[in-house]
Amino acid sequence: MLRSIPVSDSAGGFVAIAVQAHDAGGDHGWYLVALDPRLEELDRANFADAEAATRAARRLLARQPASAPWTPPPAGGPAPLPPTA
């Protein structure tokens, strides 16, 4: 079974997911799935453990300016466009 751990920034915002990787050799490393665009360079990067992934993400975020928090799309998809006359 795969394990995943949410990664938050210093303000508590959800910015990435640390996912435990499994390969045929039984290695159980971790990789990061970036949700915040500021973490793009770490997306799918490998780490020894979830804590290392979290530390790397927070270090990278600390060096960059803050961006607007990510918000999920509304349930049911985007609002339809108004009709044109």
Per-residue tokens: 42 = 């770490």
pLDDT above 90 coverage of the chain, percent: 51
In b/e form, how buried is each residue of 24-52, taking b as 16+ CB within 10 angstroms? eeeeeebbbbbebebbeebeebebeebeb
- pLDDT at residue 64, rounded to an integer: 81
Residue-wise pLDDT for 56-85, tens only, equals 999 999 988 766 666 666 676 666 667 776
pLDDT above 70: residue 19: yes
pTM of the model: 0.69
Q: Are 32 and 57 in contact (CB under 8 A)?
A: yes
Residue-wise pLDDT for 30-39, tens only, equals 999 999 999 9
